[in-house]
Homo-oligomer: A and B are copies of this chain.
Amino acid sequence: MNIIISNQGIPFYEQVKNSLIEAIIKGELQEGELLPSIRNLAKDLRISVLTIKKAYDELEKDGYITTKQGKGSFVSPQNIELIKEVKQKEIEEHLNKVIEISHLYNIKEEEIINLIKYLYRSENNE
C-alpha cells in the first residue's frame, strides 16, 4: 500500500483517509486486514499520531474500518454497492456544477459530452 501526502491545501488527515479508501476499493486492503498502526504510519509519513488518528476516526465513522483499543484497526466488510452510491452522489455533484457553468455560458450539452469522451480516453491511456 502506497500513501503519499503532500502539503498543498488538502489537510493531511484527508489525504490519508482518501488514500486508504482508495486502497480498500481497489482491493489492496482486504476485508479484515490489519491497517498500519497509527504510530507506525505517523512515523512513516512523518506526521503526528493525532493526525493519523483523526483520519482513522473518520474512516471508522464512515464504516470503512473498525478499531479496537490495544489491537488495531481492521478493514470492515465492505458494502460495495453502498460505497458506490456515495460515490455516485459525488459524481452528481460535480456534474451539476458542470451544468451550472454550462448554462451560464451557453455551452452546449454536446460540447460537454465530447469533452467527457476526450478526457475519458486520455485517462484510460495512462
Contact = CB atoms under 8 A, between A and B. Distances in A.
A105 B84 CA distance: 7
B96 A119 contact: yes
Interface stretch (A33-41, A48-56, A110-118): A110-118
Interface of A: 22, 25-26, 83-84, 87-88, 90-92, 94-105, 107, 109, 112-113, 115-117, 119-120, 123-124
A25 B97 CA distance: 16
Contacts of A119: 92, 95-96, 99
Stoichiometry, copies per complex: 2
Contact of A99 (B25, B26, B123): B123
Given A25-B105, A104-B26, A105-B84, A91 B120 contact: no
Contacts of A101: 87, 90-91
A4 to B, nearest CB: 16
23 contacts: A22-B104, A25-B105, A83-B105, A84-B105, A87-B104, A88-B107, A91-B98, A91-B102, A91-B112, A94-B94, A94-B97, A95-B112, A95-B115, A95-B116, A95-B119, A96-B123, A100-B123, A102-B120, A103-B124, A109-B117, A109-B120, A113-B113, A116-B116
